[in-house]
């Protein structure tokens, strides 16, 4: 019984440490779609903007320039 308790406690401690280590590796939040419009003048849907943000994340670099290359522009 004591051996089983020690194994459970050791597992719980290791799981807790792993959770703490991965918490620091979270990615930055995606930019907000509020200030962007497509070249047609309409605002992108949440799904469209998520796709644009994912594309820019894969390419790397500045998001504003990437959005402009994909046809988005800042709303006025």
- Among 3-12, 36-45, 53-62, the minimum mean pLDDT is found in 3-12
Q: Is residue 57 part of a domain?
A: yes
Inside any domain, residue 9: no
Tell me, yes or no, whether 56 lies in a domain. Answer: yes
Confidence of residue 22 (pLDDT cuts 50, 70, 90): very low
Q: Which of 34, 40, 29, 31 is nearest to 64 (CA)?
A: 31
Confidence of residue 24 (pLDDT cuts 50, 70, 90): very low
Give a yes or no: residue 23 inside a domain: no
For the chain, the domain total comes to 1
Report the pLDDT value the prediction gives residue 6, as an integer from 0 to 100: 63
pLDDT band at 30 (very low <50, low <70, confident <90, very high): low
Is residue 42's pLDDT more than 70?
yes
Domain extent for 76: 45-76
User: Count H helices, E strands: the chain?
Assistant: 3, 2
């Amino acid at each position: 019984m004591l051996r089983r308790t020690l194994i459970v406690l050791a597992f719980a401690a290791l799981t807790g440490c792993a959770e703490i280590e991965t918490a620091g590796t979270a990615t930055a939040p995606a930019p907000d779609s509020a200030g962007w419009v497509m070249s047609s003048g309409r605002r992108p849907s949440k799904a469209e903007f998520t796709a644009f943000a994912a594309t820019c994340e894969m390419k790397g670099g500045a998001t504003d320039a990437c959005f402009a290359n994909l046809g988005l522009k800042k709303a006025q």
